[in-house]
Amino acid sequence: MGMPSGIEIVIIVLVILLFFGAKRIPELARGLGQGIKEFRKASDDLKREIDKGAEEEKEPAEYKRTEEKKAKSESESESDKN
């Protein structure tokens, strides 16, 4: 069951035209377009939130390593003085 051929697409379009009527098709297409737009927006928002959470999780780990390095270098400098 591959892609529909040219004749099959024409038949499908005619059935849709008969079933919904010429006036309703633009309304349906507009509604479908708005739904797709909202879905993409929600998807982008979700991706942004996930990326933001990942960045927030990385920052404390990097901060912790920096603080450990500072503490180690301070203790080494103090032991060199003694």
Q: How confident is the model at residue 82 (pLDDT cuts 50, 70, 90)?
A: low
Rounded CA-CA distance 1/47 in Å is 34
- pTM value is 0.48
What are the residue ranges spanned by the domains of the chain? 6-81
Q: Which residues of 40-65 are buried (b: 16+ CB within 10 A; e: fewer)?
A: eeeeeeeeeeeeeeeeeeeeeeeeee
Q: Which residues have a Cβ under 8 Å from the Cβ of 20 and sit 6 or more positions away?
A: 28
Residues 19-76: tens digit of each pLDDT? 888 888 888 889 999 999 999 999 999 999 988 888 777 766 566 666 677 777 766 6
